[in-house]
Amino acid sequence: MAQLDFYFSIEEKNKLVELVFEKKGVIAVDSDYLSPCYTILKNMHEYRDFAESNNIFYILHEDYVKYPLQFSTFNRDNQTFYYINQKYGGPYIDIYTTGLLENNRIETSNIHYYPYYYVDKETQINPTHELLDFYNSLTKFIRKNSLPYKMTVRKYWIGKQLIQDVINDKVVLLHIPKCDLLKQINIQKL
C-alpha cells in the first residue's frame, strides 16, 4: 500500500481538498448510511459541511474509477446500516484526516491507495496510471508545503503553517513533542 503520513493545519487540509476539486475530482464520504447510496462532495462548501464530523473520505475521478464503490452492512439497535467496503470497487484514493481535536491538538493524517481492489470476491484490479498520477500530484502538493520529520522508521510531513502554529503554541501535535520537532526540522525553510 502506498501511503504518505502528514500533519496539516485545517487551512492546509482545505487547500489540499481544493486541489482535488480543481483537478475535477469528487469525494465520497465514509459514513454509516441507511441505504446503499453514498454522499458525493463536489466543492469546498459541501466538503466543509462534512469535514468536522467525518474523517475518512474516498477521492474519485472519472479517469480512474472503473467500478462503483461497494457496500457491506451491519445492524445496530435493530436497524440495518450500510458502509463503504474498503478495497471493493474503484479503484480510488483514501484520505484519512481529522479536524482540530480537544485542547487544540492535531492528529496525523494519511493519504493512500491499495495495491489492488476487488470487483467481486474473485476478481482483482490494479490502480490505473491515472490514479497514480492523481495520487502523485496530491502527495507532491503535501511535500511541497511541508517539512519532513522522521520518527523511528516512519516519515511524517508536517505542514509549514502548522509548524508555525506549533512554534507559537497555538496547537499541539499528537505523538510529536514540540521539542523533538524543533530539534529535527530546519526552521530556515519555513
Residue 183 has pLDDT above 60, yes or no: yes
- The Cα-based distances of 166 to 65, 67, 169, 187 in angstroms read 38, 42, 5, 12
CA 8 to chain centre: 11
C-alpha cell at 33: 448510511
For residue 187, the model assigns a pLDDT of 63
- Please tell me the predicted confidence (pLDDT) of residue 102: 73
pLDDT at 18: 98
Please name the residues in contact with 37: beta carbons below 8 A apart, sequence gap of 6 or more: none
Backbone angles phi, psi at 84, to 5 degrees: -70, 125
Q: Is the pLDDT of residue 144 over 90?
A: yes
Residue 49's beta-bridge partner residues?
Answer: none
What is the spatial distance between Cα 43 and Cα 22, in angstroms, rounded to a whole number?
9
Give the pLDDT confidence score for residue 179 in this predicted structure: 87
pLDDT at 146: 96
Contact 112, 93 (CB under 8 A): yes
Tell me the pTM: 0.92
Residue 143 has phi, psi (to 5 degrees) of -65, -40
Determine phi and psi for 90, rounding to 5 degrees. 85, -135
